[in-house]
Structures are given as C-alpha cells and as structure tokens.
C-alpha cells in the first residue's frame, strides 16, 4: 500500500506491548518489504554490527546490501527497497525526496518517529493488527494561517523550496535570519510550535521545519544571528 504522503509504499514496524523481544517486530518489517515490488533490498542500521538475528540472516543472503550510517547517504537508497532499522530523527528527515521503491522503518523509540509518522502517514505494523494510512488533510485543514505577515514569509519559503526541489537554499536562510533580527515584534506574535506546525502544513521538508523552528527558538532565547553581509539589511516585504 502506498503512503498518501510519499510516492511509494511506506510502512513502520512498531513494538507491541504483548511482545517480549524485538525480533517479531523485525520480522514484520522484513516480511512486509519482501512483499513489495521494486529494486534490490538494502538494510540500513546505525552500525556495522547488527543486533538482530533476523536482520543479520537477511543481510547474509546474496543480493542483499547492508549500509551503516557512517559513510553513507540517503540519496544512495534511491531505486531500492529499504529496511531502515532504528533511525533517529535526522536520518528520517534525510529520506525526504529520495526516490525509494519501498520503505519500512523499524521503530525503536516513539519520540524519534512520532512526527515522521504523522507526516509520512505510513502503514503501521503491530503484532496483532495494522493501522492503515489515513486520508491526507489539505494545508487548509492543517495549522491555521499565522498573523502579521509571518504567514506570507512561510508561504514564500515553501514556494521557493518547491521550486528548488530540495531544502531551502542558503540565501533563503540568510534572508529569514535577517528578517527575524530586524522585525522582532513581528515574530514575537507567534510561538515556535505554531511556526513548526504551519511549516509542516505548508509541506516544507522536515529539515526545513527543524531549521525554521530552530531559528525561532534561538531568537526566543535572545540569541542573535550572524548574517551574510549581502543580506544583512534584508526584510521581507
């Protein structure tokens, strides 16, 4: 089953309270992925050593590739069916825009995956049931538009990111930091969480959501930015 948010089948294998070990969770992920059509299988784990009997047996088979975090990139997963075991938040963010054939995430901790699950809208694999992807909400059904010009800035950033086809370019980040410095009263009218939720509703990438909300938090904490001199006096109209 294809995710509504990703243009390929996506699932997450979740630990069930009735289970006494992680192996059934790992086996659910393996079975689901092998049922999906697509390219060769790649298993991604944090380290070279795989602390799972079922995943280690899979990797030992001919034609199955194994990648660890160090020295690899998400882009190299394109065109493959992928088992991503125990990823942290950043590694989930990095999957955005990669043309994978099918993806199953093996969840370790809910805090790392909760926002990704909400955004990716995957099939959720439990021990005794599955949770189907829900119908997607439109941006208008998500977080409410923000006041006082902040909405215009976020919509501009979402539009330019779409045009670039990737995360925000460095100069857009410089513009945003300069605007936050020059118009503190404007940005003081919204909370970090409001900005974060609106960025997600507008379809900005997870990395951009983290970047923008991170800048907001730093300003709320009284931090100042060093802005490139080309954009030092920039303000959004």
| 198-228 pLDDT tens trace | 998 898 989 999 999 999 999 999 999 999 9
pLDDT over 50 at 1, yes or no: no
pLDDT in tens, 149-189: 999 999 999 999 888 777 899 999 999 999 999 999 999 99
On whether the CB atoms of residues 208 and 154 are closer than 8 A, the answer is no
pTM, two decimals, is: 0.81
pLDDT over 80 at 76, yes or no: yes
């Amino acid at each position: 089953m294809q995710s509504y948010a990703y243009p390929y089948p996506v699932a997450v294998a979740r630990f069930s309270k009735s289970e006494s070990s992680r192996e059934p969770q790992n086996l659910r992920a393996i079975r689901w992925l092998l049922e999906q059509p697509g390219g060769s299988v790649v298993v991604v784990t944090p380290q070279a050593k795989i602390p799972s009997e079922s995943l280690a047996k899979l990797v030992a088979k001919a034609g199955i590739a194994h990648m660890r975090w160090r020295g690899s990139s998400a882009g190299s997963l394109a065109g493959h069916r992928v088992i991503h075991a125990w990823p942290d938040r950043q590694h989930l963010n990095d999957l955005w825009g990669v043309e994978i054939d099918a993806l199953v995430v093996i969840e370790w901790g809910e805090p790392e995956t909760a926002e990704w699950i909400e955004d990716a809208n995957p099939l959720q694999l439990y021990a005794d049931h599955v949770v189907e992807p829900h119908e997607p909400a439109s941006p208008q059904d998500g977080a409410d538009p923000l006041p006082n010009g902040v909405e215009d800035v976020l919509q501009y950033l979402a539009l330019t990111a779409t045009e670039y086809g990737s995360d925000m370019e460095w100069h857009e980040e410089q513009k945003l930091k300069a605007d936050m410095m020059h118009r503190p009263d404007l940005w003081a009218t919204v909370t970090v969480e409001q900005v974060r939720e609106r960025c997600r509703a507008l379809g900005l990438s997870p990395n951009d959501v983290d970047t923008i909300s991170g800048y907001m938090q730093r300003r709320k904490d009284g931090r100042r930015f060093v802005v490139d001199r080309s954009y030092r006096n920039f303000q959004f109209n």
